[in-house]
Amino acid sequence: MTTAPGLHSAAGSPLLMNENLKFLQAFLKNPLKVGAIAPSSPELAAEMLRDLKPDEENIVYELGVGTGAITRFLCDVIPSRESYLGLELDPELVANINISMPEMNIICGNAAEAYDIHKRSGLGKVRYLICCLPFVSLPKNVSEAVLAEIERFMSEGCETRIFQYAHGYYLPPAVRLREFMRTRYGRSKRSQLILNNLPPAYTLTWSTL
Ligand SMILES: C[S@@+](CC[C@H](N)C(=O)[O-])C[C@H]1O[C@@H](n2cnc3c(N)ncnc32)[C@H](O)[C@@H]1O
C-alpha cells in the first residue's frame, strides 16, 4: 500500500478529526474495551496490511473495526465486498461505519464468537485474521475466548496479525498472548517499532499456511 485513499485520510481533514472525536467518545464510554485513545495511524494500518492478497476464497477477517482506521485501507486491498468481513462490538461504531463505508461488509458482534459468525456469513475461508483487539485491557476470560477462536481459524490454515503497543509490551496480558501464540505457532514475525502511531506499536504475525 503506498497512498492513502484521499477521501478518508488527509491528516487534519474534517473527516479525520470527526473520526478521532468518535474514537475518543467510544474510548470515554468504554476505555477497557476500546483500549486506545486514538485510532491506528496510516503507518500502522500499512504494516497491518502488508503483503495481504485476499480474494473471495481467501478472505480478510478484521476483528475490532473501531472507526475503520485500518478498514479504509482495506478498501484498496480487497478485490470485492465478499473478500472481507469486519466485526465490531460497539453498535454505535458499527452504525457510523456502515454509513461512512457502506461498501465494506461490517457487522456488530463479539470476537469471542468470531468463528461461528464467520461460518454464518457464508463467506470464503479466512486466510487473514487482522486482530485489532485491546488484549491488554480486556478481561482475561474474553481474551481467552478470543484466542480460542483464533486457534480454530489457525487450525484451518491462516495468518493472524495483531498489534501491541510498545508501552504495554511487557505487561502480563501482552506477554501471555505472545506465549499462547508462540507455543502453538512458533515465534512471531515482528515489525519494526512503528513510531508514527499514538502510542507507538509493533505488529506481530503468526502463520499456519
Ligand atoms: C484498539 S481499538 C482498534 C480500532 C481500529 N481497528 C483501529 O485500529 O484504530 C479496539 C476495537 O475493538 C473493539 N472490541 C473490543 N472488544 C471486542 C470484542 N469482544 N469483539 C469485537 N470488537 C471488540 C472495540 O470496541 C474497539 O473498537
Phi, psi of 123 (to 5 degrees): -80, 170
44 lines ligand 1 (CB under 6 A): no
Asked whether residue 61 is assigned to any structural domain, the reply reads yes
Q: And the C-alpha cell for 135?
A: 488484549
16 part of a folded domain: no
Counting atoms of ligand 1 from 1, which one is nearest the CA of 39?
9
Percent of the chain with pLDDT over 90: 82
Range of the domain at 164: 35-207
Cα gap 70→50, rounded to integer Å: 12
Q: How many domains does the chain divide into?
A: 1
- Structural domain includes residue 57: yes
Task: Output the pLDDT for position 14.
Answer: 64
In tens, the pLDDT along 169-202 reads 999 999 999 999 999 999 999 999 999 999 999 9
In a domain, 113, yes or no: yes
Neighbouring-strand partners of residue 85:
61
Does residue 63 sit within a domain? yes
Q: Is the CB of 88 under 6 A from ligand 1?
A: yes
Instruction: Report pLDDT for 5.
Output: 39
Tell the burial category of 83 from Cβ atoms under 10 Å away from its Cβ (0-12, 13-18, 19+): buried
The answer as to whether 23 is a domain residue is no
pTM over 0.85: yes
Distance between Cα 135 and ligand 1 center (Å): 10
What is the per-residue pLDDT for 13?
A: 63
**Residue 201, ligand 1, Cβ within 6 A:** no
Distance 64 CA to ligand 1 centre (A): 3
CB atoms within 10 A of CB 10: 12
Rounded average pLDDT over 29-39: 87
How is 16-56 classified by DSSP, letter by letter?
HHHHHHHHHHHHHH-HHHH--SSPPPHHHHHHHTTT---BT
Q: Looking at the domain assignment, is residue 15 inside a domain?
A: no
Å from CA of 88 to ligand 1 middle: 6
What confidence category does residue 66 fall into, taking pLDDT thresholds of 50, 70 and 90?
very high
What is the domain-level CATH number for residue 72?
A: 3.40.50.150
Give the tens place of pLDDT for each residue, 75-97: 999 999 999 999 999 999 999 99
Per-residue model confidence (pLDDT) at position 11: 42
Residue 192 included in any domain = yes
CB 161 within 8 A of CB 205: yes
